[in-house]
A = this chain, B = another copy of it.
Amino acid sequence: MAQRNTWQRERVREALSDARGFVSAQSLHATLRDENTGIGLATVYRALAGLAAQGEADSLQSPEGEALYRACSSTGHHHHLICRSCGLTVEIEATDVEQWAKRTAERHGFRDAEHVVDIFGLCATCAAARDAQRDAN
């Protein structure tokens, strides 16, 4: 018997889908704990690791060093455009970049190349909000 179905794992999967963009394990745990029974932090971590391993979720390291997760719609390889303020995420394709990465690695004799290509910025909404706040000061 390899894998059991528990309501906890299901809840984590749901919460991950509901989130608009990347979320940290910590905030996911907080959300889940608020809305209902006391799910354990360790369980959230385990569930997320599991989902990531099965390719049902994406994970990346935020510049602040936190691990962020996101439900992954396209199972294939893809990249992200992430709002550093609200976490909104846009999945982007980058065929050109794929090719470039592959060629660059080969040109330098590297094998089994993986690449990390993500863009962090402020989405239109957050940029506007920040401008508004700046004006107030």
Measuring CB to CB, which residues of chain A are less than 8 angstroms from any residue of chain B? 61-63, 65, 67, 81, 83, 90, 92, 94, 96-97, 100-101, 104-105, 108-124, 127
The 3 closest A-B pairs by CB, nearest first: A109-B124, A110-B121, A113-B121
Contact indicator B127/A111 (Cβ below 8 Å): yes
Known A63-B61, A67-B65; contact A121-B117, beta-carbon cutoff 8 A: no
Q: Tell me which of B83, B116, B124 contacts A116 (CB under 8 A).
A: B116
With A104-B119, A110-B119, A111-B127 known, 15 other A-B pairs at CB within 8 A are A61-B62, A65-B65, A81-B110, A97-B97, A108-B123, A110-B123, A110-B127, A111-B122, A112-B122, A113-B121, A114-B120, A114-B121, A115-B118, A116-B117, A116-B120
Cα A96 to Cα B96 with chains together (Å) = 9
The 16 sampled A-B contact pairs (Cβ below 8 Å) are: A61-B63, A63-B116, A81-B108, A81-B110, A92-B104, A94-B100, A97-B100, A109-B124, A110-B122, A112-B121, A113-B120, A114-B120, A115-B118, A115-B119, A116-B117, A117-B117
